[in-house]
Amino acid sequence: MKAITQDRYGPPDVLRLTEVDRPAARGAEVLVRVHAAAVNAADWHYMRGDPYLARGMMGLGAPRTKIRGVDFAGRVAAVGPDVTRLRPGDEVYGEARGTFADYVCAEEGVVDTMPANLTFAQAAAVPMAGNTALLGLRDVQPGQRVLINGASGGVGTFAVQIAKAFGAEVTAVCSHRNVELVGSLGADRIVDYLREDFARTAPGQDLVFDLVGNRSLADLRRALRPKGRLVLSGGGVSTGGSVVGPMGLIMKARLLAPFLRHRVQVLSARQGTENLATLRDLIESGKVKPVIDRSYPLAETVEAIRYLEDEHARAKVVIVVADSHSDDANI
């Protein structure tokens, strides 16, 4: 099968379209024919091996996982002997390592039936970004004030919609070129960070959800009410070559959290069908919709990641792996 692989860290040119062996479903795994996959900041970090401190997890000299990609949507091609919920032919979505490929194997526990009202390309845009947004906003109550820093990105576009679906009053922070997009997603107030400092002009928030990682803890906390909550979720694509990158803010937050009056939460990945089912319900009810900036064929994955790296992509960038039954719409 065809797959996008890398054997060393570096710029997008280290990625190669190669032929590799097709995996086989074992135990509680399902083999999925990938129709579409989504590009995430995580793919960029693994490609670059950035920040350097994370290479202890990624692989010291080269990435341990050779095939890039995490999000996928497609059809189940085969199932392992211990699979109970899914059957060949089911249209599914989820997260697994190595999704920039014709096929991927994933544990049944992190795969679910995809929303019926989405194309494969739209469904592929949901799992990692939607799951992150949902985890960060899970405890939001109606009437609470929520500020989302990085509202026009992959996670941010989901976060704005999920917060509104939960009944929050949403302040969205983005650049001027993305004001219209973020407004269309339901934000009550939009802050252009090039013209206004939300830390000073948007106080009294019940929750600040930071998806950028470029502000200090003091700045982020300044926007909170006395018993507010700060949620950190790493950061996006940076200039590269950093030692700690957004991990610096996260490590500092974990160190200082016990001594701060505000509740500080660092999100950790937690995949599973429960969140995928919740996202499916929100999408099928019309409360949330994935937003796709651009789509690329598998052979142009290098260009897709270069676009993410150089052009500050809005919302999601999608890789179309196999032909599907519907067209992909760009914003």
C-alpha dihedral sign at 154, 155, 157, 162: positive
> Rounded CA gap, 212 and 312, in Å?
12
pLDDT at 252: 67
Superfamily of domain 129-266: Medium-chain alcohol dehydrogenases, catalytic domain (3.90.180.10)
Which architecture, in CATH terms, is 2-126+290-320?
Answer: Alpha-Beta Complex (3.90)
Q: Which segments of the chain have a pLDDT < 70?
A: 51-58, 60, 234-252, 256-259, 261, 311, 323-331
pLDDT at 256: 64
For the chain, the residue count is 331
Look up residue 164 and give its amino acid: K
In the chain, how many H helices and how many E strands?
A: 11, 15
pLDDT at 224: 96
The closest of 108, 88, 105, 95 to 22, measured between CA atoms, is: 105
| Domain boundaries, given as residue ranges, for the chain | 2-126+290-320, 129-266
Phi and psi torsions of 323, nearest 5°: -60, 140
pLDDT at 324: 46
- Using CA atoms, how far residue 199 sits from 81, 147, 224, 277, 326, in Å, is 54, 10, 9, 35, 43
User: Does 2-126+290-320 match 129-266 in CATH topology?
Assistant: yes
Cis peptide before 51, with omega less than 30 degrees from 0?
yes
pLDDT at 49: 77
